[in-house]
Amino acid sequence: MGRLSGKRIMVTGAAQGIGAAIAEAFHREDAHLLLLDRDGEQLSNTAERLRQTGARLATATADITDAAAIAAAVADGERVLGPINALVNNAGINVFAEPLQSNDAEWDRCFDVNLKGAWNCCRSVLPGMIEAGGGVILNIASTHAFTIIPHTFPYPLAKHALLGLTKSLGLEYASKGVRVNALAPGYVATAKVLDWWNSFPDAEAAKAETMRLHPGGRIATPEEIALAAVFMISDECPFMNATCLTVDGGLSVQQHPA
């Protein structure tokens, strides 16, 4: 307990799934939280659950593609919590298609949320971190950031780019005391994965195939990803910068399932 004491952390996409699990894990480690999501109702439910266990937090309903809204949310949150000194860029969307069947609207939405949205949040907190002499940014990437699954275009492109953003910012601001890293989950038991399984004619068969791909025969829980996020935001890895930690149960290492 207390591994994140003194951290004032902004978490995007915090209403449910991995984001909510991260918020809960950070609270257990004594962090103060600024929680953002575009789903105001679900965000309120998550925030209330955390407040009932003593969490100190602020919330903002905002779309990360709106740079002005994010800047305003940060300013409001800092008036309540104090200067933000850590950020988790968790918000993202799945956009999957066969390349020649995709369209410009899908491309734009994918990159606006998964890349530009993360940058909007980074540039809203970086000046304060630099002025304070340090901070931590964690971008939730994906194994899609370095592997390709057919028919998931253009999502992997955006996640590859997010890894590039991580490395670029990590090197750019290392001398200012700011660490920027990425965390790459594989399959995680969230609503997004359930929706993806349900997009197949036989959802149970799709689920079974996903499990078969994993050496351990199962996928991650959101809480397991949150544990990794605690470590990467904490001061326990002060020399980790401009890199990516993979948490996928060995999925991306295995060339062919057994």
Query: Can you give the pLDDT at residue 255?
Result: 87
Determine the average pLDDT of the residues in 115-140.
98
The CA-to-CA distance between both ends of the chain, in Å, stands at 39
User: Does residue 188 have a pLDDT over 80?
Assistant: yes
φ/ψ of 21, rounded to 5, equals: -65, -40
φ/ψ of 80, rounded to 5, equals: -90, -45
> 59, 36 in Cβ contact below 8 A?
yes
Report which DSSP code applies to 220: B
Is the sign of the CA dihedral 141, 139, 155, 191 positive or negative? positive
Confidence of residue 256 (pLDDT cuts 50, 70, 90): confident
Annotated active-site residue 173? The verdict is: no
φ/ψ of 9, rounded to 5, equals: -115, 130
Query: Can you give the pLDDT at residue 22?
Result: 98
Confidence of residue 27 (pLDDT cuts 50, 70, 90): very high
Is the sign of the CA dihedral 40, 232, 9, 113 positive or negative? negative
Instruction: Give the model confidence (pLDDT) of 228-253 as tens digits.
Output: 999 999 999 999 999 999 999 999 99
Q: Hey, where are the domains in the chain?
A: 8-185+221-244, 187-219
Query: Can you give the pLDDT at residue 47?
Result: 98
The 3-class SS string of 60-101 reads EECCCCCHHHHHHHHHHHHHHHCCCCEEEECCCCCCEECHHH
Which structure tokens are listed for 58?
Answer: 């602020």
Higher pLDDT, 1 or 55: 55
* Arithmetic mean of pLDDT over the chain: 97
The fraction of the chain above a pLDDT of 90, given in percent, is: 96
| Chosen CATH of 8-185+221-244 out of 3.40.630.30, 2.60.120.10, 2.60.40.10, 3.40.50.720 | 3.40.50.720
Report which DSSP code applies to 237: -
Confidence of residue 258 (pLDDT cuts 50, 70, 90): confident
Locus of tokens 């980074």 = 122
Catalytic residue among 111, 153, 155, 187: 155
pTM of the model: 0.96
Going by their DSSP bridges, the two strands 135-140 and 96-97 should be labelled as: unpaired
